[in-house]
Amino acid sequence: MNDAIASVADTDTHTVRLPAAACLALCDALPRAPDLDAAMRIVEGVRQSVLGDGLLTINLLATPIAQLSEGNLMLQRAWSSNPAAYPPGGLKRKTLTAWSKCLLGDGQVVVGQGDAELAQAFDDHELITALGWHSVINVPLIDTDGACFATFNALGPRDRWRGDEVLLVRLLATLATPAVKRAAQQATLVSARV
């Protein structure tokens, strides 16, 4: 997976193009979205209009990142474009792997190209491929302290992502970060009150 990161690092060779309607949705509607669901519907609409069919999920770190080395890190799905297969609220345990260290520990984008890489990184790889997804882009959402607090995950039917597609997903993740951060803070407040 790290080779996939290196292959898209040279941004001078890639151009990201967005239709005017997508730009207007991101510039005008996204900042006014009242909650995470509304924000992510806008982001997912842009993702679909440019990249086509796929799956988009947002996972929040449900435990402190320091627990990653102990194998006790939990992620909780905050949003999903396919709630039947990947319902919001679902939990998944992450152990210390090259993928989790890179994405969650180091805060770097991870690109999984093809079924073999998905099988190495995801316990639910059989469901992923059964749904028709064969590649993933995982983008860490970074807080003001420089730590990963959530992940933005785009899966697609292609075996390989092009560099411009990776850059587009990274841009969408960055634009979604404020809405995800608000949702994470609200979730923390609610769990603190319970």
Q: Along the 194 residues of the chain, how does pLDDT read in single tens digits?
A: 444 443 445 555 788 889 999 999 999 999 999 999 999 999 999 999 999 999 999 999 987 777 666 667 889 999 999 999 999 998 888 877 888 889 998 999 999 999 999 998 888 899 999 999 999 999 999 999 899 999 999 999 999 999 999 999 999 999 999 999 999 988 765 454 43
User: Parallel, antiparallel, or unpaired: how do β-strands 148-156 and 135-142 relate?
Assistant: antiparallel
What is the structure's pLDDT at 122? 87
Whole-structure pTM value: 0.89
Residue 112: both structure tokens together:
């999984």
Closest CA to 19 of 40, 46, 43: 46
What is the structure's pLDDT at 4? 43
42 contacts 144 by C-beta, under 8 angstroms: no
DSSP label of 106: S
Residue 49: both structure tokens together:
């209009």
Closest CA to 132 of 93, 158, 162, 105: 158
What is the structure's pLDDT at 6? 39
Residue 144: both structure tokens together:
């003001």
